[in-house]
Chain A
Amino acid sequence: MDFAFLADTMGQLLAVTPLTIELWFLCILIGGILAVFIAWGRVSGVPVVSQLCAAYVFVFRGSPLLIQMFLLYYGVAQFAEVRHSFFWPVLRDNFSCAVLSLALCTGGYTAEIWRGGLQAVPAREIEAGRAIGMSGFTLFRRIIAPIALRQALPAYSTEIVLMMKSTSLASLVTVWEVTGVAQRIISHTYRTFEVFICAGLIYLVLNFLIIRALRAVEHYVSPHLRDRPRPLLPGAPPAHAASPIALPEVPR
C-alpha cells in the first residue's frame, strides 16, 4: 500500500469537498423552493397551471439529468439570442450552470414528493381546522403544511441523498468537484482504483452525515408516531402473542 499516495490523493479531494457540498446545498435549496411552486401549481385545481406543472415534472423526471446538464451548458449556447440575453452570465459559467440543472431536475422530483405529502393530509384533520374557523393561509401554515411535510420527509430524505451523488455529474461540465478532481488525478497517475476508492469514501461519509441528520429531524418531528399501540400488520405478532394462556370465553 502506498500510503503517501493515498494521503496525497485524499488531501487533494478533501480540498475540493467544500465545492461538492456547495453544489449539493444550492441545488437542494433552489430545487426545494422551485418544488413548492410546482407542487402548488399541481394541486391548484386550475387546469392549465396543473397541466403545465405536470409537464415540467414529466420532462425533468423522464429524461437523464446528464442530458439536461449538457443541453443547458453546451446546447443552448449555440444560439446567439441566448448568448446576448440576460441569462448568459449564468449559462456561461460552468458552476452556476451545474447548480441550475441539478436544481431544475430535483425540483421536479421534489414537487412530486410535496404533492404526495399534501394529498396524504387526512381530510378530517383539515375539516377540523375549518370547523374551528381557519381558512386560507392560516389553515395551510398551521395544519396542512406541518402534516404534509412530516408525510413527505422520508421520501424527501432519499431525494436529498440522491442529489449528493448526482453532484458528481457536474464534473462533466468541467466543475472541479470531488469526482472531477479524482478523474484529473487518474489521468496523471493511472491509479484508478485507489483514487476512486478515496472519492467514493468521501461521498459515503457525506451521505452518512446527511442520513443521520435527516433521521434526527424525522425523529424530532414525529413524537406522535412513537410508542403508540402497534397496528396489527399481517405477519407481525400481536402484542400478547407469546401468552400461552387461553383467552376466556366471551360472555354473551
Chain B
Amino acid sequence: MTDSPALSVRGIHKAFAGLEVLKGISLDAHEGDVISILGASGSGKSTFLRCINMLEIPDAGEVTVAGETIAMKPKRGGGQEPANQKQVDRIRSELGMVFQNFNLWSHMTILQNLIEGPVHVLHRPKAECVAEAEALLEKVGIVDKRNAYPAHLSGGQQQRAAIARALAMQPKVMLFDEPTSALDPELVGEVLRVLRALAEEGRTMLVVTHEMGFARNVSNRVVFLHQGVVEADGTPDEVFADSKSERFRQFVSGLHA
C-alpha cells in the first residue's frame, strides 16, 4: 500500500468529435507531491484533470487511486466506460476537485456546502462534520462567512470556500482545475496563499494553472502538455531552467510578452 503511488494514471486518450485532445498521457503522483500542469489553452490539461475523476470518460487508459484501479468496460461503438458507478462515486469522494468557476451550490450556505458531502456521501454524523467544517473555514480565513450564501461572497472567498468543501471530504488527492483563472487579479493572491499552505502541509495536489510563480516556487514537479502529449516533465528547475523543450521556452516567453 505504501509503495503504490497516491495516484497513477496510465495512457489516457481522449477525443472530442474526432479531434484527439489527449494522446496517451501517463503520470504518477506520490504522497505529498505537488504537480503543476502547464500548457497553452487547448493543450488538453483541463481535460486530463477531468479524466482522472471520470468527469470526462477517457477513451482509453486507466486511473488508479491509492492502489485501486477504476474498472472500465468496453463501450458499444468504441471507447470504454466505467464498469461500476458505485466504485466511481467512491473514488471521486477520495479525489477533491476544485473548479475554475468554484461551482458552489448556490442554494446552500457556505457551511452547508462544506458538510453536504461528508453527511450525504460519506454518511458521517452531522455534528462532527460541522465542527470539522468550521475548522476548515477558519483555515481558509472565511469562518465569518459560514452562514452566507455563495452569491454574497467575492470570487476569492468563493474559491476558498470551494477548496474547503473539497478538503472536507478528507481526500487522498486534490485536483485543481485553473483555480485562479476566473478571479480578478487582486483576488488571486489569497487563493494562492491557501494552495501554498496546503502544499506545505504535505497534501498531494495536481494543479492545472497559468500561475508560473506557483509552478516554480511551490510545486515540486512541473508537467508541460503540448498538443495532447507530455512535452516536458521534471522538477521546476529542470523544466524552467534547462528545458530541452523548445516549445516550453516559447510557451513561457509567450506569457511574458
Taking Cβ atoms with an 8 Å cutoff, the residues of A that contact B are 122, 124-125, 127-136, 138, 142-143, 146-147, 150, 221-225, 227-229
Q: Which residue of A lies closest to B171 (CB)?
A: A132
**With A and B bound together, what is the CA distance between A109 and B5 in angstroms?**
54
**With A and B bound together, what is the CA distance between A224 and B121 in angstroms?**
23
- B105 near A134 with CB under 8 A, answer no
User: Cβ of A135: which chain B residues have Cβ within 8 Å of it?
Assistant: 85, 88-89
User: Cβ of B101: which chain A residues have Cβ within 8 Å of it?
Assistant: 124
Q: Which residue of A lies closest to B162 (CB)?
A: A128
| Total chain B interface residues with beta-carbon distance under 8 A | 31
Q: Which of B82-96 contact A (CB under 8 A)?
A: 85, 88-90, 92-93, 95
Provide the main secondary structure of the chain A interface: helix
Closest Cβ of chain B: how far from A130's Cβ, in Å? 7
21 chain-A/chain-B pairs, Cβ below 8 angstroms: A125-B104, A128-B97, A128-B105, A130-B55, A131-B99, A132-B92, A132-B93, A132-B166, A133-B89, A133-B93, A133-B169, A134-B120, A135-B89, A136-B85, A138-B121, A147-B106, A147-B107, A222-B107, A224-B107, A229-B151, A229-B152
Number of residue pairs spanning A and B whose beta carbons lie under 8 angstroms apart: 78
New A-B contacts (15) at CB < 8 Å, excluding given A132-B165, A142-B116: A125-B103, A125-B106, A128-B97, A128-B103, A132-B92, A132-B97, A132-B117, A132-B121, A138-B121, A146-B107, A223-B149, A224-B107, A224-B109, A228-B149, A229-B151
- A228 near B151 with CB under 8 A, answer yes
Q: Which residue of A lies closest to B168 (CB)?
A: A132
Is residue B150 contacting chain A, with contact meaning CB distance below 8 A? Answer: yes
Q: Which of B88, B99, B108, B152 contacts A124 (CB 8 A)?
A: B99
Is residue B36 contacting chain A, with contact meaning CB distance below 8 A? Answer: no
**With A and B bound together, what is the CA distance between A91 and B85 in angstroms?**
46
- A131 near B151 with CB under 8 A, answer no
Q: Which of A143, A221, A228 contacts B105 (CB 8 A)?
A: A143
User: Cβ of B97: which chain A residues have Cβ within 8 Å of it?
Assistant: 128, 131-132
- B151 near A134 with CB under 8 A, answer no
**With A and B bound together, what is the CA distance between A143 and B151 in angstroms?**
17
Q: Which of A132, A146, A221 contacts B169 (CB 8 A)?
A: A132
For B152-173 the 0/1 string (1 means CB < 8 A from A) is 1000000000000110010000
- B116 near A224 with CB under 8 A, answer no
Known: A125-B105, A142-B120, A228-B149. A133 touches B99 (CB 8 A): no
**With A and B bound together, what is the CA distance between A23 and B107 in angstroms?**
33
Is residue B46 contacting chain A, with contact meaning CB distance below 8 A? Answer: no
Q: Which residue of B lies closest to A124 (CB)?
A: B103
